[in-house]
Amino acid sequence: MYHKEKSIQIKNSASALYNNLGVLRIAPRSLTYFTVVHANVVNMVSASWDGLNYSHRQLQSKEPNVATSTSLIMQAAFCALPSRDLLVVTSQKGIQIYESDGSTMVYWHALDTPDTPTDQAVFARGISAVGNSYICVGDSSGSILVFDVPSKGSNITLSDVLKGHKKSITDIASECSGSQDCIADLISADDGGNLCVWKSGEEFQRFNNIPGFDISCTSVKLWKGTAVAGYGTGQIRLYEAVTGILHAEVNAHARWIYSLDIAPFSGLLLSAAEDSLVRVWHLSIKPESLSVEVAHLHNECVTDTQICGAKFCDGDGHAFAVTGYDLSEIIRYTQS
Amino acid sequence: MNGIVGAMFSKDFMDELLKPQQLYSHRTLKTVLTRIAHASIMRLNPASMDRLYELVVMAFKYQIFLCPRPKDLLLITYNHIDTIRELVKDTPVVVNQVGETHRKIIEVYSSLSEGEFQLLRQTLLIFFQDMHVRVSLFLKIQVQNPNGRFALSTSGPVPHGIDVPGLIRTFDGKGREVRRSEFPSGGSYSSSVREGCFELHGDRVIRLGTDMYTVNHPEETHTPKHTFVKTDITPNLLAKEELNLLARLMGSMKAEKEPKAETGFWINLFTTDQEEEEAGASGLAEEPLFEVIHIQAMQDEQVTTELARIAGQFAEEEPPGNLNSSKGDDLLAMMDDL
């Protein structure tokens, strides 16, 4: 179904972090941007679709105007809003927002980091654009910071702090940006496996809480009102987001799932785990029974590699890319 | 052995170690390990210490990388502690120290969630990134591949608490299962074995952290010239904090026996320089990237007694400077005099 393509070499190897691959497709310029986190650096590659041009850039996690002090990066992800695309980098010290090509930092938000380390880790993790102009970022205390983003420039403001989680945020996802209307358009997950479902707006509303089983939900997606969540038990669970009804449960992997992605136009689901396997599934919603069916389509084994990032490169799922811990390349697969 | 264990498990040192802190750099860790190794009558020259360090770090990487579930990090730790306790069982003072440390570790770490252990593990994995030193024992028992990467199996028992992959269950609106289907897992997994014991004593079940040398054999480490990419992420401020930490650690390490040059002796784990060159030259034809270094860790009792006798006859020798010149040299040199 898929075959391996030529890999993209990156400057350093990927670190073992959940959802450690960012992808942004820039159709007007026939380019795709990729981001892979290595310790305190984000490796960015801009790849032309004809496979001939690759340019690299590295971003460091640091406060503006402070020469020293870098901290470990937890996640880097692209946020595609109707008016602009941005790159968000979250670390142990704060949140950085860049223009999508990584050329300029437009915003810095510092976390409340204590002077000497305490036994509670402090960091930001979980990044998603939502609605017309919001970027949501989670943190280690379970809070979700909501940033209001103007269509141009750097006048980004912190407009809300959502409380719904008691454990560290692991991942945040959204759907229905722009014109579509949804009951709920944002979902967040934490280290206890709990999911919160929200509706964005001037005032964000919490619609539902789907409790977990004390095992981290490491990656979550929202698609046609269905929450798709991956856990440290290697399971994928599909819930109806607003009601919390469990549609399906898959014993998908033998180790912790590190990344999930959905191709929204085709309903293809990608799952990747520390067990070295990437799996492709198909989700279909049956309107008569209001149920969701999961069908398994394809496996890829990345030998001896604990996978940490896997994403579709386009909305149909025609191609996907994979990163693994200690691997200095982005592996790509295309539909045959 | 008692010297090393006694120094490492001293109350002050352990208290310092168990404080919340950032990840060490390789330089700091190597300095700490060198100091621990020298807390006995053994002396290693810098090149041997480098090789020992690589061996230790690769074994450590293997255990963290293959740890089945994040909280099994504790079981691996307890395997180490159990073995150490056995090694020093004839010295009650040291046994007590080990026991105390074990209790403290249980106290500090038992309440962490799986998610927090995974974060701990992910942070440790950063430390090991890009190290692919090949260890002959690991290659021989096939836990490591010739490219230096560890083998990750897609068969065998799944970790405790995880289900064997392959099942899809679908439910209706009332939570009743309406369908089951299977998919090919691409591996051959079996159900998990029982869970290991997290108490002071008990069967840990998992083998990681237990003795990997079941048979005595000479070990070799193959060191590719440019394998270890130095991740120099230490700007000035960070290095200063690290040195402060190092100073505190060194200050709290009280060696059981102060190293005296008269009773010490230097081990050159290498054959003569000429032999090394020859080995390097001959190895060039097949493996242009590697220098073959032979370390003979002999376990023969007769030989070690003989060594001890010879040690008494060794003349005092100035220890070669074992730190590369970089910032903080003076401070570190001062600490060596502690």
Residue pLDDT, tens place only, A189-234? 999 999 999 999 889 999 999 999 999 999 999 999 999 999 999 9
pLDDT at B223 over 80: no
pLDDT tens digits, B59-85: 999 999 999 999 999 999 999 999 999
* 8 A C-beta contact, residue A283 and residue A275: no
pLDDT at B279 over 60: no
pLDDT classification of B229: cutoffs 50, 70, 90: very low
pLDDT tens digits, A303-315: 999 999 999 999 9
Spatial CA neighbour of A231 closest among A270, A273, A294, A282 = A273
pLDDT tens digits, A128-140: 999 999 999 999 9
**What is the structure's pLDDT at A84?**
95
pTM: 0.82
pLDDT at A99 over 50: yes
Q: Which helix (H) or strand (E) holds B303?
A: helix B301-311
Cα–Cα distance measured from residue A55 to residue A242, given in angstroms and rounded to the nearest whole number: 43
* 8 A C-beta contact, residue B111 and residue B19: no
Q: What mean pLDDT is predicted for residues A257-263?
A: 98
C-alpha Rg value of chain B to the nearest Å: 23
Question: Could you tell me the two tokens for A24?
Answer: 């942004």
Q: What mean pLDDT is predicted for residues A243-258?
A: 96
Lowest mean pLDDT among A15-29, A31-45, A49-63, A152-166: A49-63
User: Could A216 and B238 be called an inter-chain contact, meaning their C-beta atoms sit closer than 8 Å?
Assistant: no
Amino acid code (one letter) for B28: T
Q: Which residues of A touch B150 (CB under 8 A)?
A: 304
Q: In Å, how far is B118's CA from the nearest CA of chain A? A: 9
B225 has a chain A CB within 8 A of its CB: no
Q: Which chain A residue shows the shortest CA-CA distance from B230?
A: A12
* 8 A C-beta contact, residue A113 and residue A160: no
Residues 256-315, chain B: which have Cβ within 8 Å of A? none
The domain locations on chain B are 1-151+203-220+264-272
Spatial CA neighbour of B264 closest among B314, B301, B306, B309 = B314
pLDDT at A6 over 50: yes
**What is the structure's pLDDT at B314?**
39
**What is the structure's pLDDT at B239?**
55
Query: Can you tell me whether residue A324 is helix, strand or coil?
Result: strand
Q: In Å, how far is A300's CA from the nearest CA of chain B? A: 8
**What is the structure's pLDDT at B13?**
85
**What is the structure's pLDDT at A11?**
93
Partner residue opposite A252 with nearest CB, options B126, B165, B178:
B165
Cα–Cα distance measured from residue B150 to residue B144, given in angstroms and rounded to the nearest whole number: 4
User: Could B186 and A68 be called an inter-chain contact, meaning their C-beta atoms sit closer than 8 Å?
Assistant: no
Cα–Cα distance measured from residue B6 to residue B255, given in angstroms and rounded to the nearest whole number: 8
**What is the structure's pLDDT at A212?**
93
**What is the structure's pLDDT at B250?**
64
pLDDT at A168 over 90: yes
Q: Which chain B residue shows the shortest CA-CA distance from A193?
A: B115
**What is the structure's pLDDT at B231?**
39
Lowest mean pLDDT among A12-21, A70-79, B100-109, B327-336: B327-336
Q: What mean pLDDT is predicted for residues B98-123?
A: 93
pLDDT tens digits, B144-168: 999 999 999 999 999 999 999 999 9
**What is the structure's pLDDT at A67?**
58
Q: Work out whether strand A94-99 and strand A85-91 pair parallel, antiparallel, or are unpaired.
A: antiparallel
**What is the structure's pLDDT at A119?**
77
Question: Could you tell me the two tokens for B65?
Answer: 């990388």
Proportion of chain B above pLDDT 70, given as a percent: 63
* Domains of chain A, start order: 2-111+121-335 (2.130.10.10)
Q: Regarding predicted confidence, which is higher, A65 or A46?
A: A46
DSSP A247: E
pLDDT classification of B3: cutoffs 50, 70, 90: confident
Average pLDDT value for chain A: 93
Q: Which residues of B touch A17 (CB under 8 A)?
A: 122
* 8 A C-beta contact, residue A57 and residue A31: no
Partner residue opposite B171 with nearest CB, options A117, A248, A305:
A248
B146 has a chain A CB within 8 A of its CB: no
Question: Could you tell me the two tokens for B91?
Answer: 């010295």
pLDDT at A173 over 60: yes
**What is the structure's pLDDT at B5?**
85
Q: Regarding predicted confidence, which is higher, A172 or B235?
A: A172
Q: In Å, how far is A248's CA from the nearest CA of chain B? A: 4
User: Could A325 and B125 be called an inter-chain contact, meaning their C-beta atoms sit closer than 8 Å?
Assistant: yes
Q: Work out whether strand B188-190 and strand B155-157 pair parallel, antiparallel, or are unpaired.
A: parallel
pLDDT tens digits, B15-72: 888 888 888 888 889 988 888 888 777 788 889 999 999 999 999 999 999 999 999 9
Q: Which residues of A touch B152 (CB under 8 A)?
A: 275-276, 303-306
DSSP A156: -
Spatial CA neighbour of A49 closest among A70, A67, A21, A27 = A27
**What is the structure's pLDDT at A204?**
94
DSSP string over B187-244: SEEE---PPPP-SSSS-----TTS---SS---EEEEEETT-S-------HHHHHHHHH
* 8 A C-beta contact, residue A209 and residue A164: yes
pLDDT at A90 over 60: yes
Q: Which residues of A touch B166 (CB under 8 A)?
A: 251
Q: Which chain A residue shows the shortest CA-CA distance from B151?
A: A304
Residues 13-32, chain B: which have Cβ within 8 Å of A? 19-23
Q: Regarding predicted confidence, which is higher, A107 or B303?
A: A107
Partner residue opposite A254 with nearest CB, options B23, B158, B229:
B158
DSSP B269: -
pLDDT tens digits, B80-101: 999 999 999 999 999 999 999 9
pLDDT at A154 over 70: yes
pLDDT tens digits, B185-203: 999 999 998 999 999 899 9
Partner residue opposite A15 with nearest CB, options B129, B163, B238:
B129
User: Could A70 and B235 be called an inter-chain contact, meaning their C-beta atoms sit closer than 8 Å?
Assistant: yes
**What is the structure's pLDDT at A277?**
98
**What is the structure's pLDDT at A180?**
60
User: Could B125 and A276 be called an inter-chain contact, meaning their C-beta atoms sit closer than 8 Å?
Assistant: no
pLDDT at A16 over 80: yes
User: Could B189 and A246 be called an inter-chain contact, meaning their C-beta atoms sit closer than 8 Å?
Assistant: no
Number of alpha helices (DSSP H) and beta strands (DSSP E) in chain A: 0, 29
Selected residue of A250, A298, A299 to mutate for chain B interface (largest B Cβ count, 10 A): A250
pLDDT at A145 over 60: yes
Q: Which residues of A touch B157 (CB under 8 A)?
A: none
Q: Regarding predicted confidence, which is higher, B239 or B338?
A: B239
Q: Which chain B residue shows the shortest CA-CA distance from A14?
A: B129
**What is the structure's pLDDT at B46?**
87
pLDDT at B253 over 60: no
**What is the structure's pLDDT at A156?**
96
- The ipTM value here is 0.94
As beta bridge partners, residue A229 has: A220, A237
Any residues with CB less than 8 A from the CB of B144 and at least 6 apart, and which? B58, B62, B134, B135, B138, B150, B151
**What is the structure's pLDDT at B245?**
63
As beta bridge partners, residue A37 has: A42
DSSP A325: B
**What is the structure's pLDDT at B175?**
85
